[in-house]
Amino acid sequence: MSETIHIKSPHEIEIMRQAARIAAGARSMGRQAVQAGYTTWQIDRAVHEYIVKNGAVPSCLGYEGFPAATCVSVNEEVIHGIPSRKKTVRNGDIVSIDLCATYKGFVGDCAGTYACGEVSEEARKLIRVTREAFFEALHYARPGYRIFDVGGAVQAYVESNGFSVVRDFVGHGIGRDMHEAPEVPNYRPDKGSGLRVGNPRLVKGMTICIEPMVCAGDWRVKILKDGWTVVSADKSLAAHYENTILITDGEPEILTMADDLMA
Ligand code: MF3
Ligand code: CO
């Protein structure tokens, strides 16, 4: 990833809004397909068709060889689950949907975890805390703060609720590329941790993805043999919530909320 943080012009921001609106709508479509008896492949179809119908391109499809438009991750799967005709969603499952849409050269990216039918109390709390962690972090997504303040807010909120934040995957800047600088960890890197990510100041015109990835148990993850699916190492439940946001002079603007305030 290039180190350069691309500050977006008003014209670029307008296109980002459009791309993000399509991504948000696609997330709603995916969410509606989280139903007992649906396969994760059918969830992907719903997302993919919506993106294409709206004149955008599903940016995950083919990204580093990923074979679908949508990452669909069930229960202990954290991120990057591959949709499959053989994987049926059941009552009691939690399903994470993550997708990107490219429109007129700019990318919108969002994710969310949704319950299928009646889920455990732990699952409900995990979904809620993961989403709330994003909104906690949003308070720090403005000029005057730095990237680690954002991640620190996610971590503090998640850990105070008895859950853990994934360390091995992080949020990111976004624009013409799905992943731009800066990296946006969901934790405050310890001094001397060896982590090389920078801690830039937030400035107006930055577009970033804040995406808490939360485990009910330990934060350690592993990657399955398919080379993609990231699962919690202890097989505890995991949840993900992500929006593309714009840093402004004041309140950040959530770009991927346009169609679905309840996402
Ligand atoms: N949307 C994911 C993110 O938040 C990336 C998906 S990986 C892909 O960064 F291979 F599916 F594209
Ligand atoms: Co992302």
Cβ of residue 44 lying under 6 Å from some atom of ligand 1: no
Ligand 1 atom at minimum distance from 242 CA: 4
pLDDT tens digits, 88-110: 999 999 999 999 999 999 999 99
Extended strands (E) in the chain: 57-58, 70-74, 77-79, 94-103, 106-115, 164-165, 171-173, 180-184, 207-210, 213-215, 221-223, 230-232, 238-240, 243-246, 253-254
Note the helical H segments in the chain: 10-32, 40-53, 121-138, 147-160
Atom of ligand 1 nearest to the CA of 66: 10
Give me ligand 1 centre to Cα 216, in Å: 22
Ligand nearest to the CA of 1: 1
Judge if the beta carbon of residue 66 lies within 6 A of ligand 1: yes
Question: What six digits make up the tokens of 151?
Answer: 């991640």
Which protein residue has the closest C-alpha to ligand 1 atom 8?
Answer: 60
Ion ligand 2 neighbours (CB, 5 A) are: 109, 209
Which positions of the chain have pLDDT values less than 50? Answer: 261
Q: Is the CB of 71 under 6 A from ligand 1?
A: yes
pLDDT of amino acid 258: 65
| Res 225: pLDDT | 98
Domain ranges of the chain: 10-254
**pLDDT the model gives residue 191:** 72
pTM above threshold 0.75: yes
Ligand with smallest separation from the Cα of 102: 1
CB 247 within 8 A of CB 143: yes
Using the 8-state DSSP alphabet, how is residue 65 labeled? G
Instruction: Determine whether domain 10-254 maps to CATH 3.90.230.10.
Output: yes
Sort 41 into a burial class: Cβ within 10 Å, 0-12 / 13-18 / 19+: middle
- Over residues 12-39, the pLDDT tens digits come to 999 999 999 999 999 999 999 999 999 9
Determine whether the shortest distance from the Cβ of 63 to ligand 1 is under 6 A: yes
Contact 72, 61 (CB under 8 A): no
Q: What pLDDT was estimated at residue 194? A: 64
Q: CB of 107 closer than 6 A to ligand 1?
A: no
Q: For ligand 1, say whether the CB of 180 is within 6 Å of any of its atoms.
A: no
